Amino acid sequence: MKLRCIVVDDEPLGRNLMVENIHLIPFLELVGTAKNAFEALKLLDSTEVDLIFLDIQMPGMTGTKFVESLTRKPMIIFVTAYEEFAVESYNLEVIDYLMKPVSIERFTKAANKAYERFKMLNGEPTPSTSGLDYMFVNVEYSLVKVNFDTITHIEGLKDYIKIFVNTATHPILTKSTLKGIEEKLPTGKFLRVQKSFIVNLDKIESIRNHRISIGKYEIPVSDSSMESLLEAIKYNK
């Protein structure tokens, strides 16, 4: 199972480097390239695309505006020479943000993240990065063991996160980011449903009006994550 991807970059050198990298990764399949967002739209209309390697600063329409314009989004990996768009891209819930020049090691890591998400959406649960069924987190100068099966959801609070577990009265507060903790979780079991929330799919009790109910908690679901959520829980209309 391969990821069908396109490269969108107005600079020939940038496009060519991404194309070369794609050819080095066995699970990536290049299905097209584009010099701008408008050419990319034509590709999306005519070709099945799972992943876009997307430049941000392009004439006519920026990469971020292009992503915002899409009603049905493939996975996105931004590839740019500008750091200042990182926060904006984070809000767009892209897979990764690569800074030019991109090393093959960094490119491979981003591609692997996309592939894990792709397999999860297509019903292939993947193990956690460590292969364990638990993780340790720092809590007030101590390392605390947290079993993945006990986690209901996780909330991001700037430099800290709250880990809600069904075996504790109060959430576990630890210094981390959602992105950092997400890399430790089994991707087939957990899903980021909004920029500030990750949920354990097994713990979902109901979904209504873009809100997930887990016990006494209600977790918001962003518009861009709703389709991924429905696919992850195998909901068919």
- What are 80-98's pLDDT values in tens digits? 988 776 766 666 778 889 9
Per DSSP, what are the bridge partners of residue 53?
Answer: 7, 77
CATH for 134-232? 2.40.50.1020
- pTM for this prediction: 0.56
CATH superfamily of 3-121: Response regulator (3.40.50.2300)
pLDDT of 234 strictly over 80: no
Burial 24-51 (b: 16+ CB within 10 A, else e): ebeebebbbbbbbbebbbebbeeeebbb
Q: Which of 22-26, 113-117, 233-237 has the highest mean pLDDT?
A: 22-26
Quick one: average pLDDT of 39-61?
95
Asked if the domains 3-121 and 134-232 are classified in one and the same CATH topology, the answer is no
Asked if residue 177 has pLDDT above 90, the reply is no
Query: Which residues contact residue 111 at a Cβ distance below 8 angstroms, ignoring those fewer than 6 apart?
Result: 3, 25, 27, 28, 77
Among 54-58, 122-126, 150-154, 189-193, the minimum mean pLDDT is found in 122-126
Across all residues in the chain, what is the average pLDDT?
88
CB 193 within 8 A of CB 210: no
Domain layout of the chain by residue ranges: 3-121, 134-232
Which residue, chain included where needed, has tokens 């518009």?
223
Question: Residue 90's pLDDT is what?
Answer: 64
Buried b / exposed e along 70-104 (16+ C-beta atoms within 10 A): eeebbbbbbbbeeeebeebbeebbbbbbbeeebee
Q: Which two tokens stand for residue 201?
A: 């799919």
4-29 per-position pLDDT tens digit: 999 999 999 999 999 999 999 999 99
Q: Of 237 and 90, which is predicted with more confidence?
A: 90
pLDDT computed for residue 236 by the predictor? 52
- Which whole number is the average pLDDT over 34-42? 96
Tokens of 125: 């649960």
